Structure 1
């Protein structure tokens, strides 16, 4: 494997197909010192018998050596013991009993081992959410490619410009307007950004299917939405304290707002070219209302309004 191979990308199929054999070789190609995810992937390969002969003893040893929160280590080792006792074609006992049996995936119940199934720390949750995000990004890109496959080149170019603007705005929102306090902050930020990216693709698909924002007078709706947005923005800019560890600041909101403007305009440009019946004013009004809702939500995080 290449010296810069990414063992997680190969194992989970992020940015390309799943390749367990390449993931195995990548994990073995790294020096012993500083190994982290390499050992984690080897643990999963041995536990599941992917590209290697199944070896639950080796998986258990790696489960202990990989480290992490004590509870996570205990859960991981217990799960491997449960897998060892699982009869062919059987399902784990906890999947059929108790009040939480519904929370387990079918793969888990059948004994498919994944390190993230037993993540308990905020740090590990952040990593696992990032892995899920990488897999979701590939699926999202495939949806976008399928959606625009037969579009004229001019429309594809407008979509490309919109995606660049959208991703810049979404990343700024996640970095500047999501509470970063607590140990699960990375997971929360990644989850919020993915939620917004999914909504972006869903809106494109709905517009392509004939949906349009419903306003009796789009021009009037746009003027009213603009007025509401400006008022909400002024209030948030007047906030003097969003909390000592939230990471939210007026400067960060200002930066995000500046990136939202080209995002809004790129939406209107694509809509005018691709879905003229939807109306650029209606699209703008719809997006402005959405942004105003975010700004009003930030008002509740501002301590200036809690005194």
Structure 2
């Protein structure tokens, strides 16, 4: 559909693009949206040199996950370039330390997104990827801040207070019955906590 509608390397052919849109396994309203989108492109109602993407007219939770996966892959490529640029002047020891931290961070991010996101809805795949994206961006932002000299400043008392509050909430959750209609259980939180401790202490 995109190939013929967008004229990518070939002449635009809306007839074939519409057939491809109809043949695509999709929710009814997604197909309706794509057909209207293609009709607008063909009639000139869209802007100059119009484009269509398979993710433009999605309505289903399944396709949200599919499209989120595409965006996540693109974001991973951009972050990899940014990490490489930030660490380009580091020595071998510093790079080795960063690779160890990155590996531990990735283990936590996987645990956090896979175990602490409710998977009961049809958009669960997209929500898992979005949570992973949030954590990955936080890691990158932290490294950028550190390189700029903006280091976190906490007193021992402040750290103790925050740690005490974290443990209070954690114990409270342990004493609470697992929700019946939520996929996140206490055992999942415990596994994620173990991954977090490995990252921060290990």
Q: What TM-score bracket applies, with the shorter chain setting the length?
A: over 0.9
Q: Does 1:243 align with 2:201?
A: no
TM-score, normalised to structure 1, is 0.63
Residue 64 of structure 1 aligns with which residue? 22
Tell me how far 1:110 sits from its aligned partner: 5.0
User: What does 1:209-248 align with in structure 2 at a 5 Å threshold?
Assistant: 209-215=148-154, 218-244=155-181, 246-248=182-184
Taking structure 1 as reference, are residues 264 and 110 closer, same or farther at Cα in structure 2, changes over 3 Å only? farther
Following superposition, the deviation at residue 180 of structure 1 comes to: 1.6
2:75 is the counterpart of 1:117:
no
- The higher relative CO (CA closer than 8 Å, separation ≥ 6) is in 2
* 1:185 maps to which of 99, 108, 124: 124
| Superposed structure 1 runs of 4+ greater than 3 Å apart | none
Distance (Å, rounded) in 1 between the aligned partners of 2:93 and 2:175 = 42
Provide the TM-score with structure 2 as the length reference. Answer: 0.94
Q: Which residue of 2 aligns with 1:49?
A: 7
The runs of 5 or more residues in structure 2 that have no matched partner are: none
Residue deviations 1:112-170, cap 9 Å, x none? 11010001000111101111111111111111011101111111111111111111111
Q: Quote the RMSD (CA, aligned, Å).
A: 1.5
SS of the residue corresponding to residue 123 of structure 1 reads helix
Q: How far apart, in 1, do the equivalents of 2:2 and 2:15 lie?
A: 12
- Paired residues, number: 202
- SS of equivalent residue, structure 1 residue 115: coil
Aligned match for 1:79, one of 27, 37, 62: 37
